[in-house]
Amino acid sequence: MADLDATDPASHELEEGVRLASGDRLEQFARAGTGDAFCFVGEGADERPVVYVSIDGEAGQLEAIENEYRSDLPDLGQRRDRAARALGITPTELPSQATALARFKALSQGPVAKTCRVVGYEGEPFAPLYDTTQAWQ
């Protein structure tokens, strides 16, 4: 199980100056034990985009995170299936890993990605999920 705390995210502040390049609101709603944050983008309800902000100056890097979880939790697939069933979803209804990663990659290069671009306190953009420099030019 991931070390994630959504009970009191306000008790852990984002580093001062960490913001979205778009100027939209960045609202933390959960914190990982490592200090990384999960934040809603903009105003509104829970349908807003979510940004993962690493304390290492990254906004994602899913492959590295997945590899770390898989090495720590070799039964991750079984846990995923158990969680799906608890939510009333059959595991076969879940998208494949390739489909989910393709969707993340497509979103990281679309218009929502511009809105969700995280900038550090020195004004430098955090590394995105994927190399998307051409998408923002």
**pLDDT tens-digit profile of 72-129?**
888 888 988 998 899 898 999 988 877 877 777 777 777 777 777 888 878 887 776 5
Q: What are phi and psi of 86, to 5 degrees?
A: -65, -25
Whether the per-residue pLDDT at 2 is higher than 60: the answer is: no
Distance from CA of residue 43 to its chain's centroid?
Answer: 18
Residues forming beta bridges with residue 37, ordered by sequence position? 31, 53
Asked whether the whole model's pTM tops 0.95, one would answer: no
State the pairing for strand pair 26-32/50-53.
unpaired
Closest to 65 in 3D by CA, of 101, 106, 116:
101
